[in-house]
Amino acid sequence: MERTVVRCAEGHLFSTASFPMQNLRPARIGPGRLMRCPQCARLRSAVPADLAVLSTEQITQALRREAVAPLA
Ligand SMILES: [Zn+2]
């Protein structure tokens, strides 16, 4: 399954399979979506990360940390 690399409000990178990308366009990335950040260990507002500004290593590490959206 395709996964999306996202960034929490604290700047941590992780990934999720459940981010509703079809509702997001670059021009209107709003306040994000509440997800449980694996590093914060609490709910954070997360937005899709811009892969163009991330290194391959950052992306690889983010894909290893998968979060799930609460109350799916
Ligand atoms: Zn975090």
State the virtual CA torsion across 21, 26, 31, 36 in degrees, nearest 10: 40
32 CA distance to ligand 1 middle (Å): 13
CA separation for the pair 44, 14 (Å, rounded): 12
What would the two tokens of residue 9 be?
């409000």
For residue 35, the model assigns a pLDDT of 85
Phi–psi pair at 32, nearest 5 degrees:
90, -165
39 CA distance to ligand 1 middle (Å): 5
For residue 58, the model assigns a pLDDT of 97
Q: How far is CA 66 from CA 2, 8, 15, 48, in A?
A: 12, 12, 5, 13
21 CA distance to ligand 1 middle (Å): 20
38 CA distance to ligand 1 middle (Å): 7
For residue 72, the model assigns a pLDDT of 47
State pLDDT tens for residues 43-69: 888 999 999 999 999 999 999 998 866
State pLDDT tens for residues 1-43: 678 899 999 999 999 886 665 555 554 555 678 888 999 988 8
